[in-house]
């Protein structure tokens, strides 16, 4: 168990990658606080982790709300006494071309994908400093590394997550806090199912990857576990693609 004694917050843990990340961290011995705007979903995931012998609680959380972040952090510290790991995973996709993007759509994707990461780090880092260190993993995308077609706002949001991670890595390394970003490629989750299940889209995806398949959420979770664990003790400020080789091309 690589996460024994650690306390982790995972946002967007009701579905897809967040669910697998929370489950794996718990399996490895972490006490996990699962948050999601969809409370029923995240409560069910926490319950199944408990049934498997893990230590987990669920909290309803809109990651774009600063008040909600205050509550999540207070409840985590109240329940478990400290915070060692933060996984900023919650996010929304927006496959809308730049010229068709309304200001409301732009603000929505920026609030949920970027402001969330800023608020999470702002509220959690003081507790990590008090505890002697920590590891923050921010989920970006291959869209945060290269220009994705037909998704200008989403691409901008994921690029911002990447640079915000590096800025925080530089500022808080002195306090033993590591901050890294993970960049999933084409991963099969509820968010991507409409694309992955379309034969033409799937063919396009497979033309982009080196490994001839889409990825599983559990494969992204393994990368998150590595960065969260002490095995990554000298790794900070990096961008880790988990993309089957898309960005190698
Ligand atoms: P998903 O839609 O399956 O799960 C996302 C979860 O986030 C859901 O449970 C949802 O309720 C929650 N959520 C949405 N808005 C929220 C909010 N305002 N506050 C709190 N929770 C909220 O998505 P996924 O595919 O698992 O994606 C997880 C992350 O990975 C996202 O940041 C996404 O942008 C990124 N990503 C996904 C892919 C992919 O192929 N699926 C690729 C690259 C990056």
At 209-244, the pLDDT tens digits run: 999 999 999 999 999 999 999 999 999 999 999 999
**pLDDT value at residue 57:** 98
Separation of CA 220 and ligand 1 centre (Å)? 13
Helix 16-27 / helix 217-228 crossing angle, nearest 10 deg: 50
Atom of ligand 1 nearest to the CA of 154: 34
Atom of ligand 1 nearest to the CA of 91: 32
**pLDDT value at residue 33:** 99
pLDDT for 195 beyond 90: no
Ligand 1 proximity of 224 Cβ (cutoff 6 Å):
no
Ligand 1 proximity of 239 Cβ (cutoff 6 Å):
no
pLDDT for 194 beyond 90: no
Q: Which of 80, 154, 172, 186 is catalytic?
A: 154
pLDDT for 78 beyond 90: yes
> What are phi and psi for residue 32, nearest 5 degrees?
-120, 130
pTM of the model: 0.99
Read off the pLDDT of residues 148-161 as tens digits, 9 standing for 90 and up. 899 999 999 999 99
Q: Residue 80 catalytic?
A: no
Atom of ligand 1 nearest to the CA of 113: 32
Read off the pLDDT of residues 23-63 as tens digits, 9 standing for 90 and up. 999 999 999 999 999 999 999 999 999 999 999 999 999 99
pLDDT for 76 beyond 90: yes
> What is the overall mean pLDDT for the chain?
97
Which of 105, 90, 101 lies closest to 137 in space, CA to CA?
90
Which of 158, 185, 204, 198 lies closest to 242 in space, CA to CA?
185
């Amino acid at each position: 168990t690589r996460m024994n004694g650690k306390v982790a917050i995972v946002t967007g843990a009701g579905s897809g990658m967040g669910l697998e990340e929370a489950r794996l961290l718990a399996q490895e011995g972490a006490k996990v606080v699962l948050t999601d705007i969809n409370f029923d979903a995240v409560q069910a995931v926490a319950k199944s982790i408990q049934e498997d012998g893990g230590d987990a609680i669920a909290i309803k959380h809109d990651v774009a709300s600063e008040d909600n972040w205050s509550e999540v952090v207070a409840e985590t510290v109240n329940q478990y006494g400290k915070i060692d790991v933060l996984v900023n995973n919650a996010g929304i996709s927006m496959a809308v071309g730049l010229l068709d993007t309304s200001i409301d759509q732009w603000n929505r994707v920026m609030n949920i994908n970027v402001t969330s990461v800023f608020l999470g780090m702002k509220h959690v880092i003081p507790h990590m400093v008090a505890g002697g260190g920590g590891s923050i993993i921010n989920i970006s995308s291959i869209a945060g590394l290269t220009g994705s077609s037909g998704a200008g706002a989403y691409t901008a949001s994921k690029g911002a997550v990447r640079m915000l991670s590096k800025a925080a890595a530089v500022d808080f390394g002195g306090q033993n806090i590591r901050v890294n970003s993970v960049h999933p490629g084409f991963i099969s989750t509820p968010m991507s199912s409409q694309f992955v299940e379309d034969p033409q889209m799937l063919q396009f995806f497979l033309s982009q990857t080196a490994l001839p398949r889409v990825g599983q959420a559990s494969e992204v979770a393994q990368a998150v576990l590595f960065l969260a664990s002490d095995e990554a003790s000298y790794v900070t400020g990096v961008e880790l693609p988990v993309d089957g080789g898309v960005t190698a091309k």
